[in-house]
Amino acid sequence: MRALVLALTIASQAATPAFAGGSGIVVVAPREQRPAVTAAIAKAVREGASVAIVDDALAVAREAAAAGAVPLEQLVQFRRVREQIEEGWRAYHSVQLEFAAQRLVAARITAESSLALPGMTELYADASLRLGVVLAQLGRSGEAHGAIALALALDPERPITQLEFSPEVVAAIDAVRAQPSATHTVRVTSEPPNALVTIDGVAVGHTPVALELALGQHVVIARAPQFQAHAQAFAIDEHTTELALPLEHDASAAELALGVELGMTDRAEQVVADQVLALADLDDVVLVVATDRRGGPTLFAQRCAGAPARCSAVVELGYADRSGVAAAARAMWQALRAAELRSPPTLFGDARLTGAAVAHGCKVCRSPILWAGVGAAAIVTTIAIIAIASSSRPPPVLTVDPGRF
């Protein structure tokens, strides 16, 4: 196999995505072939509609992940927390103090599972501050002090004014801010070690690390490459000596970092397609491998969309010489654009590209008698000769893989 080109062509669907209405391409190819293949695929996609083209969508997804981007469904947590805070605060103003405390505690619990998301610690701090106010009204002064102190540590720049709180509440919050806190030494460890630790919004170093912390409530977040961020609320007293933080391996991040290659597993291909679609705010992904087959250049392609990604059958399009790549790209895109998406992504494990044996789900599917009986019908339904006006002769041949139906 003298050349390999992978293209992920993507169109955006989100209401306000980074590339609204656009398409992106990620190419893995020998340097001399990459520009021509990328340009041909981009032009083919653009001809269907006036859209912007992003040349490296896989890189865009990686950059978004590194910057802390998360799939849209995770952002729903912000709305849930805010709704719980507002419900609790309305109950406070209606002097339903016990119910108000319940809703604000629920808001903190909901937020805790997403504390690693940018902005969630501030929302957690707001819930904690209001919870402290409610607890003070209930006469639970010790708990109120702890909740307010945590809120001030998490969001020290939050304005506390009489536009939002009563004069009595402002005075109580100022008193908590001014009161010194006793401290205690705690050793923070993690598995794996060398995780970057943030406590109450302040980076304190890599594990293992010994810290002098104020007695009371805190929020800790630990991060390590290729692991899911670990976040939790915890309280320390004079008997606390160690805080152990377990981090779980982030398989999706690892697969995204590795990218794509021929022979990758279907599971890995599924993860990468899902991550690219979600993190880059995309509508569909067209996977393309360009190589030499049957004595000439050939494109293999599969279009995927949705969550989890579902794809068309793999199509194979051969053409006579590399000058016909533009026409071949147009024919490929026309076939994929109209195709039904019903299977997982499987292109990079396709036997025609890897040389592996094709695994069928039943023995009768491999029967030569069966294929002798239906071979003519299969050929008629899966092979089309497309005449294209280009310098490529003979015309491209489009083949739909019957093994995927």
> Tell me: the pLDDT tens digits for 191-219?
999 999 999 999 999 999 999 999 999 99
DSSP conformational letter for 202: E
Q: In which residue are the tokens 């709704």 written?
A: 83
According to the model, what pLDDT value does residue 91 have? 97
Report the alpha-carbon distance of residue 78 to residue 389 in Å, rounded: 54
Residue 6 has pLDDT above 50, yes or no: no
The upper half-sphere exposure of residue 385, i.e. CA atoms within 13 Å in the direction of its Cβ, equals: 3
pLDDT tens sequence across 112-122: 988 988 889 99
Query: What pLDDT, in 10s, does the model give residues 165-195?
Result: 999 999 999 999 999 889 999 999 999 999 9
CB-side neighbour CA atoms (13 Å) of 26: 21
pLDDT of amino acid 383: 37
Q: Of how many residues is the chain composed?
A: 405
The C-alpha atoms of residue 127 and residue 148 are separated, in whole angstroms, by 10
Scanning the structure block, which residue is given the tokens 């912000």? 78
Kindly tell me if the per-residue pLDDT of 12 is higher than 80: no
* pLDDT above 90 coverage of the chain, percent: 42
**pLDDT tens, position by position, 64-78:** 877 767 666 677 889
Q: Band the pLDDT of 384: cuts 50, 70, 90.
A: very low
CA distance 22 to 27: 17
What are 282-329's pLDDT values in tens digits? 778 888 888 888 888 888 888 888 889 999 899 898 888 888 889 998
**Domain segments of the chain: what residues?**
5-66+252-349
What was the pLDDT predicted at 396? 58
Residue 230's pLDDT band, with cuts at 50, 70 and 90, is very high
Residues 6+ apart with CB under 8 A from 192: 224, 227, 247
Tracing tokens 């001399």 back to the chain, one arrives at: 32
3-state secondary structure at position 322 = helix
Higher pLDDT, 6 or 334: 334
Task: Using pLDDT thresholds of 50, 70 and 90, give the confidence band for residue 14.
Answer: very low
Residue 83 pLDDT more than 70?
yes
- The DSSP symbol for 201 reads T
386 CB burial (10 A radius; 0-12, 13-18, 19+): middle
